[in-house]
Amino acid sequence: MTNHFIERSQFPALMQEIDGRPVNYHDSAATTLKPRVMIDAITEYYSQNGANIHRGKHRLSDEASNAYEAARLAVADYICVQANEVVFTHNTTHALNIVAQGLALTKSDLVIAGIDSHHSQLLPWRQVATLRFIQTDDYGRIDLDHFQTLLALRPKVIALTHCSNVTGVVHPVEQMIAMIRKQSDAIIVLDAAQSLPHGRLNLHTLGADFVAFSAHKMLGPTGLGFLYANRHRLDSLKPLQFGGGTVDWVDTDGQISRRAPYHLEAGTPAIASVIGAGASFRLLAGFDETALRAHDRNLVNSLLSGAASRPYLKLIGPSDGENRHAIGAFKFSDCVSVGEIARLLSDAYGIMCRSGYMCAQPFVGALAGGEILRASAYLYNTTADIDALYQALDDLAECMGLPTIN
């Protein structure tokens, strides 16, 4: 069964072969492949315009500015917020640093964050405050009792992760936000980099104060991220950078800053990337949401069932498909280098997976005791792609003398 959600031909990178084998890409949790519509939008900007934005009154600048702000509107529409509540950043990491550095925290302030957080949702807070971890159970699901205990310590900031980039587990952030609001005035900062690619979210009703995510995990270009917050929250942030684009007036005595979000967007931005991302978000917005989520569930079930029948693999995370996206993390049952497995999958089979600690070393170290292999599927993948991954792993396991099928 091929069950294509979107045709492979829309992704030029999937049209190539490695030693006669088509590329089978399972590293979308790191970055997604790029659709032709996004590539064309960037090419069109560079070939037919190329002007700066918000700097001049000539036609090319006006056209570039309009395309740039149309992309902001496309992003805002996708997450159900106002355009002036979306800040363009370099990536999710940059967005989270803008918040961490902009809140005027001190080392006496407590920040709590899930132990399964990406390093980018841990390290910025460690620089400016005291950080404590919200524990998970043995399968990577948030321990809500421990979370409740930490809330009693009255943290200043609560840094949540919506979806783990290791296990694919989607945490109950709606419930957690309700728990926070009931007993605390803590600032809630959500990393949605792994959840938003798999389905739209209404960030107004979700209730987090700040939400960060990236274009490159959502069919967009690298070097571009997003920070959502309401105008009041954005105005309260101290900018990380100052310069052109952030001010309405400068004289010898001082300056007048621009309104949000522009006071946080210093210098000439990645105009082409923003325009390309606009094309990607319009593509995503055109998909049937129910069909997209059903496709994701099929990929999840295929990943889980394949792992369950192979004794040489240990699945990191829960074995059921409830509340998770199509990310599977594995440890081999023998002392096998997952880095070598990833290299062999790539060079011998054309299958692209990730190996290592997934930029979540405290979590992976606790659950797996070492490096893991991760396969992450997306809307251009099919269950046949996952079958091919497991067949390749069976071949490698057999070569290593490991038992292959239960």
Q: What is the 3-state secondary structure (H, E, C) of the chain?
A: CCCCCCCHHHCHHHHCEECCEECEECECCCCCCCCHHHHHHHHHHHHHCCCCCCCCCCHHHHHHHHHHHHHHHHHHHHHCCCHHHEEEECCHHHHHHHHHHHCCCCCCCEEEEECCCCHHHCHHHHHHCEEEEECECCCCCECHHHHHHHHCCCCCEEEEECECCCCCEECCHHHHHHHHHHHCCCEEEEECCCCHHHCCCCHHHHCCCEEEEECCCCCCCCCCEEEECCHHHHHHCCCCCCCCCCEEEEECCEEEECCCCHHHCCCCCCHHHHHHHHHHHHHHHCCCHHHHHHHHHHHHHHHHHHHHCCCCEEEECCCCCCCECCEEEEEECCCCCHHHHHHHHHHHHCEECEEECCCCHHHHHHHHCCCEEEEECCCCCCHHHHHHHHHHHHHHHHHCCCCCCC
The CA distance from 105 to 22, in Å, is 50
Torsion of CA 49, 266, 35, 198, to 10 degrees: -150
Residue keyed to tokens 């920040």 = 111
Torsion sign across C-alpha atoms 59, 60, 62, 63: positive
> What tokens does 41 get?
């939008």
Q: Which residues of 292-306 are buried (b: 16+ CB within 10 A; e: fewer)?
A: beebbbbbbebbbeb
- In which residue ranges of the chain is pLDDT below 50? 1
- Looking at domain 39-285, does it have CATH number 3.90.1170.50? no
How would you class 88 by CB atoms within 10 Å of its CB: exposed for 0-12, middle for 13-18, buried for 19 or more?
Answer: buried
**Chain-centre distance of CA 253, in angstroms?**
42
Residue keyed to tokens 């059903």 = 294
| 97 contacts: CB under 8 Å, gap ≥ 6 | 124, 240
Which one is catalytic: 80, 335, 353, 359?
359
> What tokens does 116 get?
């399964």
The model's pLDDT over 238-286, given as tens digits with 9 standing for 90+, comes to 999 999 999 999 999 999 999 999 999 999 999 999 999 999 999 999 9
Contact by Cβ (8 Å): 265, 87? yes
Classify strands 247-251 and 254-257 as parallel, antiparallel or unpaired.
antiparallel
> What tokens does 301 get?
């079930």
The CA distance from 273 to 42, in Å, is 7
Q: 372: closest CA among 143, 140, 167?
A: 167
Respond yes or no: is residue 80 known to be catalytic: no
Where exactly are the structural domains of the chain?
8-30+288-399, 39-285
Give me the count of residues in the chain.
Answer: 406
pLDDT at 406: 63
The CA distance from 194 to 216, in Å, is 11
Classify strands 157-161 and 110-114 as parallel, antiparallel or unpaired.
parallel
Question: Which homologous superfamily does the CATH classification assign to the domain defined by 8-30+288-399?
Answer: Aspartate Aminotransferase, domain 1 (3.90.1150.10)
The CA distance from 166 to 194, in Å, is 10
